[in-house]
């Protein structure tokens, strides 16, 4: 299975996937493309450092979101991508990307969805005084962080936590969860469809 990782910033979750691939922990999945919408994204440097093909398309160079996503889909198709992994990709997916890769696109989000979707999830968790937060990998649909949940990991939230402290704690779990889910998908333990997730022999996960 060939995957593309889309990231807009540092690419720390990308790094966890690259490391997992090096250690044969991705269930046979291969990272075939590292893509960013930001030319200076550290994620691109991480990809190149691991010898991966990288690409960047800046939305500012296109007349519309539709045109941008059309170019992105053409790029993904050219690389024969089977699964798209959004790992800190800070753009809302549009109809173009969803129509081409619906049911083959996952996202990682720093909260226990459906709580705190969208931006600043960690700050929302701290301000609401929740006692448990975490991260979620879910199938991408047309909503914002509303797709079917594949897996979650929980972390405690302490009374004295700052947003930065909670973010760091959650990020450690993201780095464990995302490679695990990609491995499940690659090994056929999780089957994805456009609006559904099905587990095969869930007890063996």
Cis peptide before 114 (omega within 30 of 0): yes
DSSP labels for 123-192? HHHHHHT-SEEEEEEEE--SSSS-SPEEEEEEEE--TT--HHHHHHHHHHHHHHHHHHHHHHHHTTSEEE
166: which 2 tokens? 């909670």
Closest CA to 179 of 31, 9, 10: 31
Q: Where are the beta strands (DSSP E) in 28-67?
A: 30-36, 54-56
Which one is catalytic: 109, 128, 138, 175?
109
Q: Catalytic site residue 138?
A: no
CA neighbor of 93 nearest in space, from 29, 155, 148, 140: 140
| Residues noted as catalytic | 109
């Amino acid at each position: 299975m060939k995957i593309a990782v889309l990231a807009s910033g540092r690419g720390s979750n990308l790094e966890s996937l690259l490391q997992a691939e090096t250690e044969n922990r991705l269930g046979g999945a291969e990272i075939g493309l590292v893509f960013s919408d930001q030319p200076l994204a550290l994620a691109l440097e991480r990809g190149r450092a691991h010898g991966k093909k990288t690409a960047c398309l800046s939305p500012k160079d296109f007349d519309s979101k539709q045109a941008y996503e059309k170019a992105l889909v053409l790029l993904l198709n050219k690389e024969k991508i089977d699964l798209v992994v959004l790992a800190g990709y800070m753009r809302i997916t549009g109809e173009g990307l969803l129509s081409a890769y619906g049911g083959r696109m996952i996202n990682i989000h720093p909260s226990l969805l459906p709580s705190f979707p969208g931006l600043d999830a960690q700050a929302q968790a701290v301000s609401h005084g929740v006692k448990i937060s975490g991260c979620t990998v879910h199938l991408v649909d047309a909503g914002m962080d509303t797709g079917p949940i594949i897996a979650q990991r929980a972390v405690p939230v302490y009374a004295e936590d700052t947003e930065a402290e909670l973010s760091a704690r959650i990020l450690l779990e993201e780095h464990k969860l995302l490679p695990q889910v990609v491995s499940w998908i690659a090994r056929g333990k999780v089957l994805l469809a456009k609006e559904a997730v099905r587990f095969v022999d869930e007890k063996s996960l």
